[in-house]
Structure 1
């Protein structure tokens, strides 16, 4: 096996060109040890695409991703940026515009199925457009969909047909936004993949950017998912991740609070209503998370005694491995409709118009901001 590992160190995947390795299935280039001797040697990801039309999500850190992205500006391509509506500000690639140059950007907003069915889609599209503009992103078009539930996917195909104009398509997105699900749908509905793979070597480039052939000799280029450590989904224990990621429509939780009251969301976040008139707050979070209300004067002791237990997960031991809390002080102006957004967790809608002073405690580094209300 040592000789095989030595020879493997010099091998690259015949499918995507990435360096092969047998150590970590979560990293690019993984190949099971028993498959090392196959000719040609391909990584597990390319094997799945070849045999099952399945694009598994491989991730890279931000610096590696930006190296890959910097080459897009020199091409003539359509860039498809997939974002998670549930974690919009957390999954939007900041500074994307300067990397893609003059190439047009199609913004595909996934997971619309998680919002209440009564949500007005035109209002939602306008909200997305305003938020993207405020982040400096110029969009050619915006498409709302749910790749998992097959909602609005025909509009994604229509937008590609309308805007591609014979160009390659680069698909970019953060982790856990549903990129691999959408890529798999594109493989099935938009690519002549099966015919190509039975007759030729699967094309690709380094850094695990996988080229999916189209019938006009162009490609859909699936780039790795970018990791943003500012999202709660990236720092919680892997076993707790599914509790953060809702897989069905969210049931909003409404709390009437007086000032000097506190809400704990699991043992992950503390929300203090410091000052203001009695008003309601609506939580848009995974329904698998516990919410506990108490008075601010008792909050410190409650957390010390019951974190990871009464308050909900993660466990006390797992919390000790996560960054310590930092406080975010937020003032909601009178008459404003605002959300307190916590990246990777969801948001809290401030329903009153009398204004409020709020403190939110979250693990250090997690993106927390005040934004215009989504709903």
Structure 2
């Protein structure tokens, strides 16, 4: 058997320890592939070349163990979150792990926001939300790794705050961590490799240390898998529909009480009680909306779920938890959003109050917040 050398003991894609003996275990690499540069495990090879999904992820305890030592290091922590799923992608309790280290909050995927968005207001909104979550940040940077928007400012923030520190990059799955880090590698490192990027959770499985030109390291951590996000539960065929790849075109509905909006078979929005008012839905435009009367909603769902009300297909729907009810009372006096983790959010455009019922697969996070836009 060919022995793994010190230089190839870890996969250059996901960071897992390489091995050549057990094909069904993490880190497997065929012996003949050891001559490639860089050396990546078979799992990363198939993700990169065939976009295949792998069901292998680290459990929550393993994620927390990997983060637990960060507070004892002298580091700059970059927390990447997804503006499209802010509450769902923000790491709960991150402040417990980072200690006194400075935190830069990089808010990715701003290219998905409508083009008329006031980004200064978004920055102020993010700061306020982070503070409510108990996270103290030295800077909020809006960016899009995909469109290379705001990336120069991310680099400037790293230079300003690291002061010779290593940089730990943390985030939930599907927030764009690897895409952002690969841009850093290309611009600021001599390393001839890229991290594995994929739409699927659990792509990076261990700490990946990336040497920078000045002798410090960027340390990529595995994305935390949060089951309260709809994007973690759907089939790989439907994931691309849930995750928009272009600026959102908000849908505005003028609704009377006792009206319902379905988004495929994923989410049902009931306007139970309140004055006639408008609601703006910030949802992937690949998920069709269907309006009906509340009194017909149960019947419509039973007859048309997975067919007219799709995605998902009926077969894929059977793999999801059953819909659970979330009663939501929108108070008077302010403009609020209702966020549905992994789907998007609904802006209640009036401050007169409303009683809503949100139906989502059991376990999916529903939250009320002050309006983002």
- TM-score, normalised relative to structure 2: 0.87
**Are 1:280 and 2:278 matched, yes or no?**
yes
Q: What's 1:271 paired with?
A: 269
- 1:45 and 1:150, CA in 2 relative to 1: closer, same or farther beyond 3 A? farther
CA-CA distance at 1:193 after TM superposition? 2.2
Tell me, yes or no, if the aligned pair for 1:157 and 1:190 is still in contact at 8 Å: no
Q: What's 2:17 paired with?
A: 18
Give 1:316's match in structure 2, choosing from 301, 314, 317. 314
Give 2:257's match in structure 1, choosing from 250, 256, 259. 259
Structure 2 CA distance for aligned equivalents of residues 138 and 301 of structure 1: 48
Deviations 1:293-329 (A, max 9, x none): 0001100010000001111111112111111111100
Q: What's 2:95 paired with?
A: 97
Tell me, yes or no, if the aligned pair for 1:339 and 1:374 is still in contact at 8 Å: yes
Deviations 1:261-280 (A, max 9, x none): 00001100111000000001
Tell me, yes or no, if the aligned pair for 2:168 and 2:218 is still in contact at 8 Å: yes
Give 1:114's match in structure 2, choosing from 112, 115, 123. 112
Structure 2 CA distance for aligned equivalents of residues 245 and 117 of structure 1: 18
Q: What's 2:125 paired with?
A: 127
**What are the residue-to-residue correspondences of 1:290-305 with 2, within 5 Å?**
290-305=288-303
**Are 1:340 and 2:338 matched, yes or no?**
yes
Structure 1 CA distance for aligned equivalents of residues 113 and 33 of structure 2: 45
Deviations 1:63-101 (A, max 9, x none): 211110001111100001000001101000000010111
- 1:128 and 1:303, CA in 2 relative to 1: closer, same or farther beyond 3 A? same
Structure 1 CA distance for aligned equivalents of residues 79 and 358 of structure 2: 30
- 1:29 and 1:41, CA in 2 relative to 1: closer, same or farther beyond 3 A? farther
Deviations 1:7-43 (A, max 9, x none): 99xx95376462546337xxx5253x46466599943
- 1:46 and 1:269, CA in 2 relative to 1: closer, same or farther beyond 3 A? closer
Tell me, yes or no, if the aligned pair for 2:11 and 2:41 is still in contact at 8 Å: no
- Structure 1: any 5+ residue segments left out of the alignment? 196-205
Partner secondary structure for residue 278 of structure 2? strand
Structure 2 CA distance for aligned equivalents of residues 107 and 61 of structure 1: 24
Aligned length: 350
- 1:140 and 1:266, CA in 2 relative to 1: closer, same or farther beyond 3 A? same
Tell me, yes or no, if the aligned pair for 2:27 and 2:43 is still in contact at 8 Å: no
Tell me, yes or no, if the aligned pair for 2:78 and 2:104 is still in contact at 8 Å: yes
Structure 2 CA distance for aligned equivalents of residues 14 and 333 of structure 1: 51
Structure 1 CA distance for aligned equivalents of residues 308 and 44 of structure 2: 45
**What are the residue-to-residue correspondences of 1:1-375 with 2, within 5 Å?**
12-13=9-10, 16=15, 18-20=17-19, 22-23=23-24, 29-31=27-29, 33=30, 35=32, 42-44=39-41, 60-194=58-192, 208-375=206-373
- TM-score, normalised relative to structure 1: 0.87
